[in-house]
Amino acid sequence: MDYSLTIIVPVYNEEENLLRVEEKLKEYALKTNFDCQILLVNDGSKDNSEKLMVEICDRNPEFNYISFEKNCGLSAAIKAGFDYSTTNLTGYIDSDLQTDPFDFDLLMNEIDNYDLVNGFRHERKDSGIKNLSSLVANTVRNWFTHDGMDDTGCPLKIIRTDYAKRIPMFRGLHRFLPAMILLQGGRIKQVPIKHFPRMAGTPKFGLRNRLIKPLMDCFAYLWMKKNYINYNVSRRS
């Protein structure tokens, strides 16, 4: 099957990283063997990010952007990316580039047989506190979702766009994307990828939104799972 891929890049106050995002994702888009475009989503940045995004898109036909009126959060940025994607596959990578765009190829190698392929940062380069909080959060999420994923928050994913567009997003649901594909009857897989320390900019997540908020979101997921509507059309006129 011939694939085309839109890579969503959420951006919130990442002016120090955007030129590197341009360099690395342009290199990937030009070297990969399928059609690839990049969608920058400005989540109400208060720094110079939007100006840089406009300049990047003006000089690179592979890049496009959308910009929110105000900060809405990571889940909203990913949801907007899903909504605006026009390719049959949609990927996601963080603008801090702690993951390697070329590892999308590892995920693409598996997409024939799956509806979501999730990266797994098996050798994380974050602080001990950050790694521990993520381990606890992923363990708790697995108790609720049973999706078998070790790293649902990994910022490197590929999803079939028709599945992605059917996900009813709420704040925090970006941590539950594999589980939401399972609710649709889809197939998921995780693949080990490389991970790097953050080179510039400031992390946007602390202890509260890595542990307390995700625990609250688990109960929202359980409500959604109980009430989720999933259907398949067998015939139409």
CATH superfamily ID and name for 4-227: Spore Coat Polysaccharide Biosynthesis Protein SpsA; Chain A (3.90.550.10)
**Domain positions in the chain:** 4-227
Give the pair of three-digit tokens for residue 125.
Answer: 């380069």
- How many residues appear in the chain? 237
The Cβ-side half-sphere exposure at 30, using a 13 Å CA radius, reads 8
C-beta separation of 117 from 83 below 8 A: no
Three-state secondary-structure class, residue 195: coil
Mean pLDDT of 231-236: 82
Mean pLDDT of 146-174: 88
The winner for highest mean pLDDT among 33-37, 157-161, 218-222, 224-228 is: 157-161
Residue type, 153: G
The winner for highest mean pLDDT among 31-45, 145-159, 200-214 is: 31-45
pLDDT at 146: 76
Output the CA angle 17-50-163, nearest 5 degrees: 80
Mean pLDDT of 18-35: 94
Q: How far apart are CA 175 and CA 148, in angstroms?
A: 13
- Whether the per-residue pLDDT at 26 is higher than 70: the answer is yes
Q: Is the pTM of this model over 0.75?
A: yes
Q: How far apart are CA 117 and CA 92, in angstroms?
A: 11
- Give Cα separations from 112 to 158, 160, 163, 187, 216 (angstroms): 11, 10, 14, 11, 34
pLDDT at 215: 73
Q: How far apart are CA 34 and CA 98, in angstroms?
A: 23
Q: How far apart are CA 126 and CA 148, in angstroms?
A: 23
Q: How far apart are CA 87 and CA 215, in angstroms?
A: 33
Mean pLDDT of 188-192: 96
